[in-house]
Amino acid sequence: MQEHPFGLMVHWIAPGPTPLKGPHIEELNQAVNSFDLDRFMRDFESTGAGWLIFTIGQNTTMYASPNAVLDKLAGPGYCSERDLVLEIAERVHAEGKHFIAYLPAEVNKPQKLHAPFAWNPGDQTEFQVRYTDFIREYALRLGTKLSGWWFDGCYTWDIFPNSTYNWPLWFGAARAGNPNAIVAFNDGSFCIGITTPVTPLQDYLSGEVEALVDGKIRLGRRVKDAPLHMPETRFVEGTETQWHALVPIDCNRFWWHTPKRPMTPSYPDAELVSFLSQCRAVGGVVTFNVGISQEGALGAETVAQLSRITESQKRTH
C-alpha cells in the first residue's frame, strides 16, 4: 500500500446498484454478465488508485463469483456463473496493482443463508467452520491475485461478538491461496469512535470513516462538537497494524445508498489533498469509496477528481 497514493473501494453488491440507463436487472447472471469490465478498468486506471477493494457479495444472498462450498451447502443459484471477481482481480494484478476482496463476516440479514451456514446467535462455532470454508474456496480460487481481505460486520453485538472469533480459522482461510494476503476486520471503526483494530493480529485497520471535517476524520456519528482524529504514526499505537482510513467521497458518503443521487464529489480537491497528504506523511494509507453503476461505471466527476489528486501526490511525494 505504501508505494501508491491511495486505493479505491466500490460497493457493487450483486445483482448490482442502480444502472445508468434502463431498468434495474434483478436476475443474478444477467446482472453480472452486463458488467462492463473494460469500462470499469478504464475508470479505475484513470483514478491512479494503487489497489481495489471489491465486494464479492453482501446481504442479498447473491455473490459475483462461483463458490463450490456454497453450492454444496445451499444448492445452486446463489453464485454467478461468470467469475466477475476473478476477472477483475486478474486485470488489476496485470496492472501491477493490488486486489482486495470484501465480504461480511456474518450472514444475519440474508435469512435464506442461516441454515446452510449454521448461523446461530446462541453459538456460532459451526457457523465459523462453514463460513471460513466458504472464504477459503475464494482464497484458493483467486490465489496470488488476491492481495488481501476486508471483512465487514465484525461487531461487538450479542448475536456474534467479535470477542468469540476463532482467529486461526479466519486467518487460515483468508490466506489459503496467498500466505502474504493482508487482512482487516471492521467493527465500524472511526464511524463509531473506535481507533484500534478488532484484533492486533490484523494487518491493517479497517478504518471506516463516516465524514471528514476540515480535512480530518470525525470520530463517531455526533455531528456537533465531535472529536477529530488523524494518524500520528504508520502503525496503530501498541500494535503492528497498519493505520488505514476508508473514506466515502461521493454518493455513498454516509454509508447508506442514495441510488437516485448523481455520483458527484462530496469534498473539494483541496480538502482531500490535505487529508491524504497528512496521512501519508506519517505512513498512513487511505482508500476512497466511490459510487458505481450496475453496468460498472464510476462517476465521471469523481474519476476526474481522483486523477487530479494523483497528480498532486506525484508532485509532493
Domains delineated in the chain: 7-316 (3.20.20.80)
Rounded CA-CA distance 228/162 in Å is 26
Residue 266's pLDDT band (boundaries 50, 70, 90)? very high
What would the grid cell of residue 22 be? 434502463
Q: What is the mean pLDDT of residues 122-137?
A: 98
Q: What's the rounded Cα separation, in Å, for the pair 227 and 288?
A: 21
Report pLDDT digits (tens) over 157-185: 999 999 999 999 999 999 999 999 999 99
Between 224 and 48, residue with greater pLDDT = 48
The pLDDT mean for the chain works out to: 95
Mean pLDDT of 34-52: 98
Residue 254: pLDDT above 60? no
Question: Confidence class of residue 316 from pLDDT cuts 50, 70 and 90?
Answer: confident
Residue 258 has pLDDT above 60, yes or no: no
> Is it the case that residue 300 has pLDDT exceeding 60?
yes
- Which pLDDT belongs to residue 244? 99
User: If pLDDT is split at 50, 70 and 90, which confidence band does 1 have?
Assistant: confident
Please report the pLDDT score of residue 221 as a whole number: 87
pLDDT band at 33 (very low <50, low <70, confident <90, very high): very high
Q: What is the pLDDT of residue 260?
A: 61
Percent of the chain residues topping a pLDDT of 90: 91
- CA dihedral over 12, 17, 22, 24, signed as positive or negative: positive
Q: What's the pTM value of the predicted model, to 2 decimals?
A: 0.96
Give the integer Cα–Cα distance in Å for 303 and 308. 9
Q: Is 78 in a helix, a strand, or coil? A: coil
pLDDT band with cut points at 50, 70 and 90 for residue 222: confident
Average pLDDT over residues 98-102: 99
* pLDDT digit string, tens, across residues 58-73: 999 999 999 999 999 9
* Residue 257: pLDDT band with limits 50, 70, 90: low
Residue for cell digits 484500534?
A: 196
Above 90 in pLDDT, residue 317?
no
Taking residue 316's Cβ as centre, other Cβ atoms within 10 Å add up to 11
H-state helical runs in the chain:
28-33, 37-47, 68-74, 84-94, 114-117, 125-142, 167-174, 269-281, 300-316
pLDDT at 295 > cutoff 90? yes
pLDDT at residue 252, rounded to an integer: 62
